[in-house]
Structure 1
């Protein structure tokens, strides 16, 4: 088997992102904080921004629904960089090793088009990618098959005639990996960096 390209998800693989990092500063009580993130600023709500909804519209809509939580809702995107604690060093080490061996690298991430520029500006390792498909920019979102096709088209712009089976996708969400595999890609469910390295080696990528 020949792997001609490696595609990385970002959150949970290369970046330590969590609303908890911010809201621990804003809501002291653990149960109250978890209730707020489970019921007000939810992951489902955040995913709509990853799919292309503007941050302003999202914030305005939620404040209209829950005016008593206006300050906490407004903080979500006003202080969004505080949710991005930084790189996950072991995941980035895999990325750097692949870069050093000149493996073509691509990104495929569920991320708002409005917040992603912050990552580009502050994390130089993103320069290793030949192309990054950002869900909020293309208004498609994993695990929708269409976003994988958009990524494959970008890969083929750099690597002529690459087959899905020659592409391996690394993501920390099992559903996203299953969607890639259903389209003929190789997939690695990222649980630990060590297991991901072993899985790459099993595919013939000798790190």
Structure 2
């Protein structure tokens, strides 16, 4: 069946994300930094901001657990922009090429509401699709089935004619469980090949993804 809708994830598909970037300066010791990002301001802790938890509440929760890290905890939000230093030009070229060729393109992302708006300011291509579902706006996160159903209903997508692109295998599986087609993103060149296999117009060659 012909694909009519392409849905992109954002982090590590369209823009680079790495919390170690500012914290290499803030916490130079590798072991201490690994502990901080693994136990204090962990992926799971940050995911709650993607689910809609306000940053002051998140900081208070982390400081209550680790008061000795209070300054570093506050730095996580303060220095967030450094964690997203650049876009993946190959992926952006694919996204813009699909839009230019008349393909329906939307975005579905786990992102805190406020940092997503900052990302749009820094990366204007995030405003160029038909629309976006931001997890922090609706208190739903991937890979929960509800967020895929919400996105499909909001943008009137036919699930079987929708392909979702995400770097996270669980999020890809979540999309498939919602009845979508899905691609596990690794780099722009392979993404071109997989989209072409689905009959979508893509550049003959993509710039490196990262």
- TM-score normalised according to structure 1 size: 0.94
SS across alignment from 2:114:
coil
CA distance in 2, matches of 1:86, 1:55: 23
RMSD after superposition: 1.0
- Superposed counterparts of 1:90-101, under 5 Å: 90-101=90-101
- For 1:201 and 1:190, locate their aligned partners in 2 and report how far apart those are by CA, in whole Å: 14
Q: 1:196, CA displacement in angstroms? A: 1.1
Q: Which moved more, 1:116-125 or 1:66-75?
A: 116-125
Shift in Å, 1:49 = 0.6
Unpaired segments of 5 or more residues in structure 1?
157-161
Q: Is the 8 A contact 1:55 1:114 kept in 2?
A: no
How far did 1:55 drift? 0.6
Give the Cα–Cα distance (whole angstroms) in 2 for the partners of residues 163 and 95 of structure 1.
20
Secondary structure of the structure 2 residue equivalent to 1:6: strand
Aligned to 1:159: none
Preserved contact between residue 101 and residue 201 of structure 2 (Cα < 8 Å): no
Q: In 1, distance between residues paired with 2:44 and 2:142?
A: 13
Cα deviation, residue 24, structure 1 = 1.0
- How far off is 1:31 after superposition? 2.2
Residue 175 (structure 1) aligns with: 170
Runs of 4+ in 1 over 4 A off after TM superposition: none
Matched with 2:116 is 116
Q: Is the 8 A contact 1:131 1:154 kept in 2?
A: no
Conservation of the 8 A alpha-carbon contact between 1:172 and 1:189: yes
Q: Number of residues paired by the alignment?
A: 202
Give the C-alpha shift of residue 167 in structure 1.
0.6
Aligned to 1:61: 61
Q: Which runs of 5+ in 2 are unaligned?
A: 203-210
1:96-120 residue CA offsets vs partner (Å, 9 max, x unmatched):
2112212111000000012111012
Paired residues of 1:169 and 1:188 also in contact (CA < 8 A): yes
Distance 2:28 2:110 in 1: 29
Q: Could you tell me which residue of structure 2 aligns to residue 206 of structure 1?
A: 201
User: Equivalent residue for 2:78?
Assistant: 78
